[in-house]
Amino acid sequence: MSDRPVMLAVDRIRCDGRGLCAELLPEMVRLDDWGYPILAAGPVPEHLRSHAERAVEACPVLALAMRRAEPKP
Amino acid sequence: MSVIAQIERAGLLGRGGAAFRTANKWRAVAERSRGNAVIVVNGAEGEPRSMKDRFVMTQRTELVLDGAFVAARELRANRVVLYIGERHAAARDAMLRAVQGRPERERRLVSVALAPARYVAGAEAAAIHFIDEGIATPVNMPPYPVERGVGGAPTLVQNVETLARVALLARGLPAGGTLITLAGAVASPGVLEVDSETTIGEALAGAGGMSEAPRAILVGGYFGRWMETQDAVAIGLAHGNGLGCGVIGVLPASRCPVCEVAGIMRYLASESSAQCGPCFFGLRALADTCTQIANDVSKPEDLSRLHRWANDVRGRGACKHPDGAAIFLSSALDVFARDFANHRHTHALSRTA
C-alpha cells in the first residue's frame, strides 16, 4: 500500500490527439488548439478516480495512464 | 577522497545546458553499475552558435578522454562511446588520434557514434536512442539513462566540457571556470574561458567589446532568454544562472528583433523531431505567427495567441524542445514587446539605425 498521490500522465509520443480523454474527464483534461490534451496540475482527486480510469481505458492508442507518483532517481 | 566526492565538493554542474549536478548523476550510475555501465562522451554540440564543445575536443582532447576514463573506472563501465557531431570533423579527428595513444585497456572500451546534425540529437535520451538503434530522436523518460541507457545498462551521458573539468578535479586541480561562446555583434567572437565571477559585460570587453550598438543580448543560446543589454551585462557567468550551453549572442540595433526571432523560431520548429503533437504543431504555429508579424500580415489577435501558445506548449513533449523554444519566445515577447506590437514602424527604425 502506498499513500503517494495518483497522477495522470500522457505518453506524448504515443498521443495522437484523438481527444476522448477530454470528453470523458473534462474536469482534468482540456485540449489545446491542435487537439492535444493539457492536463490539470496535481493528483487525481478521489471523487474523479473512476472517471479517470474510464478515460485511461478509452484511449485508443493507450497514451493515457494513471500511476502513483514516483521520485526521480 | 573519491572522484565523486571531489565532484560533489566542487559543486560541478553539467555543461551541456541543463546544469544538472554532476555528482548526483555519477552516484546514480555508480549505485546501479555491476561492471556494465556505459559512458557516453557527449560532443554532439547541436546548438547552432555554440563552439565550445568543439574547442574542448580539439584543444583539450586529453582532458576530455581523461575525464571519460576516470568515469569508466569510477563507475565500473565496460564501454565508452564517443558521441561526436557528424559535421565536427576536426574534433572527431583529434579525439580519434588521441584514443590511439591510450593504453590498450582503455582503447578497447571505445567506440564512436557520429551524432546527426540535428538540434535535439545532443539530448541524453536521443543520444542513447541513436547509439542503440540509429535514430537520434528523444524517447520517453523514465526510465532515465542512469537507470536504463545504452543497451539497457546504467549510462552516464556527459558533456565533453564537464568531463574535462572532472579530469582536472581528479588531478587534484580546481575545476576551473566556464567555457562560453560569444556570438553576434562582438569584435572578436568565439570561445572564451571565464571564471564564475566574470560578468557578461566583462567577457564582452575581453573580446574587444561590441562591434555595433547592441539592441539586446541572448543568454544561453536558442534555449536561452533575451535580456535588455544593461541587465545582461551585469550577470555573472556562473552555471545555474541560466547560462545554458554558454552562448552569449549580441543582437545589434541595426537588426530587426522580430525578424531575427521569427527566423530562430522557424529553425526551432523545423528541428522538432515531430513525435509529440504539441511540439510539432505548436512550434510550427508559433513560428508561422512570428513570421506573419515579421511580414506585416498579422491579425490583431496574433500577439495574444503567441503568449497563450508559448504557455501551452511548455512541459508537453517527451523532451525539453518545446520548453526551450517557448522560454526563448516568451522572453522575446517581453524584451521586444514594442517591436512585436508595432512591427512595421520599429522595423523601419532598426533599418535606419
What integer pLDDT is reported at residue B298 of this predicted model? 85
Nearest to B180 by CA among B237, B132, B228, B233: B237
Collapsing DSSP to helix, strand or coil, B5 comes out as helix
pLDDT of residue B160: 98
Residue B344 confidence (pLDDT): 82
- Using an 8 Å Cβ cutoff, are B166 and B3 in contact? yes
Q: Is residue A1 very low, low, confident or very high in pLDDT (cuts 50, 70, 90)?
A: very low
CA dihedral (B124, B128, B129, B135) in degrees, to 10, reads: 90
Position B319 pLDDT exceeds 90:
yes
Q: What is the pLDDT of residue A71?
A: 67
pLDDT the model gives residue B154: 98
pLDDT, one tens digit per residue, over B209-223 is: 999 999 999 999 999
Amino acid, res. B165: R
**Cell triple for B273:** 523531431
> Is the predicted pLDDT of residue A2 greater than 60, yes or no?
no
- The pLDDT value recorded for residue B242 is 81
Mean pLDDT score of chain B, rounded to an integer? 95
- The ipTM estimated for the assembled molecules is 0.89
> Is there a contact between B278 and A16 if contact means CB atoms under 8 Å apart?
no
Q: CB-CB: which of B140, B146, B309 is closest to A11?
A: B140
Q: Give B236→chain A minimum CA distance, Å.
A: 30
User: Considering only B52-61, B69-78, B232-241, which range has the smallest mean pLDDT?
Assistant: B232-241
Tell me which residue in B139, B142, B312 faces A32 most closely, judged by beta carbons. Answer: B312
- What percent of chain B is predicted at pLDDT more than 70? 98
Amino acid B194: pLDDT: 93
More confident residue, B104 or B241: B104
* Structural element, H or E, at residue B77: strand B77-85
Q: Is the pLDDT of residue B351 over 70?
A: no
User: Cα–Cα distance between B192 and B205 in angstroms, integer?
Assistant: 12
Q: Using omega within 30 degrees of 0 as the cis cutoff, is the peptide bond preceding A73 cis?
A: no
Question: How many Å lie between the alpha carbon of B310 and the closest alpha carbon of chain A?
Answer: 12
Summarised one tens digit per residue, pLDDT across range B143-156 is 999 999 999 999 99
Rounded Cα distance, B14 and B257, in Å:
31
Which grid cell is B329?
519566445
Residue B301 identity: E
B147–A12 C-beta distance less than 8 A = no
Asked whether A59 and A19 are in contact (CB, 8 A), the reply is no
Which residues of chain A make contact with B142, given a CB cutoff of 8 A?
Answer: 70, 72-73
pLDDT digits (tens, 9 = 90+) for A16-60: 999 999 999 999 999 999 999 999 999 999 999 999 999 999 999
Quick one: pLDDT band at residue B346, thresholds 50, 70, 90? Answer: confident
Percentage of chain B modeled with pLDDT above 90: 90
For residue B112, the Cα-to-chain-centroid distance in whole angstroms is: 21
Convert the pLDDT of each residue in B169-196 to its tens digit.
999 999 989 999 999 999 999 999 999 8
* Nearest residue, CB atoms, B277 vs list A17, A72, A73: A17
The mean pLDDT of B254-268, rounded to a whole number, is 97
